Amino acid sequence: MSTSPVTLMVARRVAKGRYEELMAWLREGEQLATDFPGYLGSGVLAPPPNDDEFQIIFRFADEKTLHAWEFSASRGAWLSRGSDLFADPSEHRVRGIDGWFGAAGARPPRWKQAVAIWLAFFPVSLLFNFVLGPLLSELELGPRVLVSTLALTPLMVYWFIPLSTHLLANWLHPAPAPRKASEAAA
């Protein structure tokens, strides 16, 4: 069993006409996960343009705590209640930042991932330091960094990295170029 954090990435394609119900069901699942030991966070990534497949991310402290939640009776009941809200479910585990950028084989190059994270982190960090820097300047380096990372990490994980990846979706995952008629005929 792993002793490092594990992310379970779940893909759910919304059933026709069931968007609002699916969103409420997803929020319920996120709330359910918060009651389990080892829970580190979760989020829902909206589908790219012209798609209806949501990515739901659940992060746990390790494989053991994820397993306890994954095979719990309460999660099983939650999945049953929502079974008619989605189609084509798939699940897989990822480690590190890969969970924010899609399934294996569909992830953008690491340099694009780094740019997307930096574009989210830089302005938020700059604003944080501009607004709170004078208040924190009296603190020693260790406590100052502790306060800033405690404040910025949840903001980044829940809001700004998902926002960045959503806004940059077409750049991170460009559509394949259409084939020319001469190539198709060959």
Read off the pLDDT of residues 72-114 as tens digits, 9 standing for 90 and up: 999 999 989 988 888 766 565 555 555 566 655 667 888 888 8
Decide: 53 and 13 in contact? Cβ < 8 Å.
Answer: yes
Please give the Cα distance from 97 to 165 (Å, whole number).
12
Are 57 and 158 within 8 A, CB to CB?
A: no
Beta strands in the chain (DSSP E): 6-14, 39-45, 53-60, 86-94
Inter-helix orientation angle 141-155/110-136, to 10° = 130
Find out whether 9 and 92 touch, Cβ atoms under 8 Å. yes
2 pLDDT tier (thresholds 50, 70, 90): very low
Beta bridge partners of 173: none
Please state the pTM of the whole predicted model.
0.51
Cβ atoms within 10 Å of 177's Cβ, excluding its own: 6
Question: Using an 8 Å Cβ cutoff, are 45 and 159 in contact?
Answer: no
DSSP 160: I
| Bridge partners of residue 43, in order along the sequence | 57
What does the domain layout of the chain look like in residue ranges? 6-100, 110-172
CATH annotation of 6-100: 3.30.70.100
Is pLDDT larger for residue 174 or for residue 27?
27
Per-residue pLDDT band for 1 (boundaries 50, 70, 90) equals very low
